[in-house]
Amino acid sequence: MEKPEIIFLVGPTAIGKTETAIYLSRMINAEIISCDSMQIYKKMDIISSKPPLSLRVKIPHHLIDIISPAKEYNVSRFFKEASLKVKDILKRGKIPLLVGGSGLYMSILIDGIFQQKAADKNIRLRLFHQARRLGNSYLHDRLEKIDPESAARIHLHDTRRIIRALEVFEVTGKPISLLKQQRSGLTDKYQIKIFALQLNRNKLYEKINQRVEGMFENGLINEVKGLFKSKLSKTASYAIGLRELKGFFEGLCDLEEAKEQIKHNTRLYAKRQLTWFKKDKRIVWIKVGSREKPQEMAKKIWKRLY
């Protein structure tokens, strides 16, 4: 039998995924699952550019507002919860449409996550000390001997990933590349189609700047003040805007400087997103015009689907 179909709509921040997803959902009878690492948190509406309630009441959205920002969230939990949502949506005769900018969440869900308890803080700390004392080349050479496939994929300057690969080998006795081959993700059970929106880089940066301005107009400062009243989890504290506005609250910069820092860091984030997605050859890129409306973008995707 033909595998059930699952659709991903990804791309850099501020490009228009949210609105496009609404129109596409109507065209294909879908429900939306958020594939975003920050929209899962309550009370982080503006800072995470969460779809407004006015849109969420039109099309069911899942994995939004599910956890307090005081609590940690990780890819393993996302994998489990998103997988269950996919099954539930398919049971009701609808198509799961996963929408977001987290390349890691997308990859983990599609390709799976290996479940071995492959973590040891003491080993990791020792490897970090070796990297500082002997250099990345020393560790990368070690990795090349035990796991040439990972060594070819991991850049010499990517200290964190080199150390992670060596740590996994020391804990499990198996190369991380082999363990990743043993993963089981949605691609084993479903027909996966991935679409990414693509816009001229300068136009995208303009949209990012406009979005940040809109966030301030909609009350970002008050939202962040409220978040700082209680302890934030490590994962929630990664949200762009928190560190920058903390500097403003502490008098280390003025409001305009904080705003420009948020714009700058968001543009850097968009660049990282594009780098991640462009490595995935399964993605079908949909070119977006600077004045193109969301319904027009949705129609382009629909034409590629049917």
Same domain, 52 and 175: no
Higher-confidence position of 20 and 55: 20
Mark which of 129, 149, 181 sits at the end of a domain. Answer: 181
Distance in angstroms (rounded) separating the CA atoms of residues 69 and 73: 9
Give me the pLDDT at residue 196, please.
98
Please say if the pLDDT value at position 84 is more than 80.
yes
The confidence score (pLDDT) of residue 176 equals 85
Determine the pLDDT at residue 34: 98
Under the banding of pLDDT at 50, 70 and 90, the label for residue 2 is: confident
Same domain assignment for residues 170 and 194? no
pLDDT of residue 1: 62
In this structure, are 201 and 277 located in the same domain?
A: yes
Examine the domain organization and report whether 92 and 138 are in the same domain.
no
Mean pLDDT of 9-17: 97
CA proximity to 50, closest of 8, 102, 100, 108:
100
Residues 93 and 205 in one domain: yes
Mean pLDDT of the chain: 93
Residues 291 and 208 in one domain: yes
CB 9 within 8 A of CB 98: yes
Residue 163 to residue 143: CA distance in whole angstroms: 9
Whole-number percent of the chain with pLDDT over 90: 80
What SS3 state is found at 64?
A: coil
106 and 17 within one domain: yes
Q: How many CB atoms lie within 10 A of CB 276?
A: 17
Q: What is the pLDDT of residues 229-238, one digit of tens each?
A: 999 999 999 9
> How confident is the model at residue 5, as a pLDDT?
95
Indicate if 301 and 242 belong to the same structural domain. Answer: yes
Q: Give the span between the Cα atoms of 19 and 99, in whole angstroms.
A: 10
The CATH number given to whatever domain includes residue 169 is 1.10.20.140
Structure token digits, residue 155: 């850049």
Q: Report how far Cα 197 is from the mean position of its chain's Cα atoms.
A: 15
Task: Assess whether 94 and 199 both reside in one domain.
Answer: yes
Q: Examine the domain organization and report whether 53 and 155 are in the same domain.
A: no
Give the strand pairing for 30-34 and 5-10: unpaired
Chain-centroid distance, C-alpha 6: 18
Residue 286's pLDDT is 97
Indicate if the pLDDT at residue 177 is higher than 90: no
Cα separation, 70 vs 190, whole angstroms? 34
Q: How far apart are CA 132 and CA 134, in angstroms?
A: 6
Q: What is the pLDDT of residue 185?
A: 86
Answer for the pair 59, 25: CB distance below 8 angstroms, yes or no.
yes
pLDDT tens, residue by residue, 156-172: 888 988 998 999 899 88
Sequence-ordered alpha helix ranges (H) in 135-254: 136-146, 148-153, 159-172, 176-181, 201-217, 220-227, 242-249
Q: How many CB atoms lie within 10 A of CB 256?
A: 9
What mean pLDDT comes out for the span 95-113? Answer: 93
DSSP state of 16: S
Whether residues 236 and 300 fall in one domain: yes
Judge whether residue 48 has pLDDT over 90.
yes
Give the domain range for residue 141: 121-181
Which pair of tokens denotes residue 6? 């699952």
Do 155 and 274 fall into the same domain?
A: no
* 254-281 average pLDDT score: 96
Final residue of a structural domain among 181, 206, 223: 181
- Mean pLDDT is lowest, of 112-116, 168-172, 248-252, for 112-116
Tens digit of each residue's pLDDT (9 = 90 or more) over 124-162: 999 999 999 999 999 999 999 999 999 998 988 889 889
Choosing from 154, 181, 208, the residue where a domain stops is 181
- The CATH code of the domain that includes 62 is 3.40.50.300
Domain total in the chain: 2
> 240: which residues sit within 8 A by CB, 6+ positions away?
47, 262, 265, 266, 269
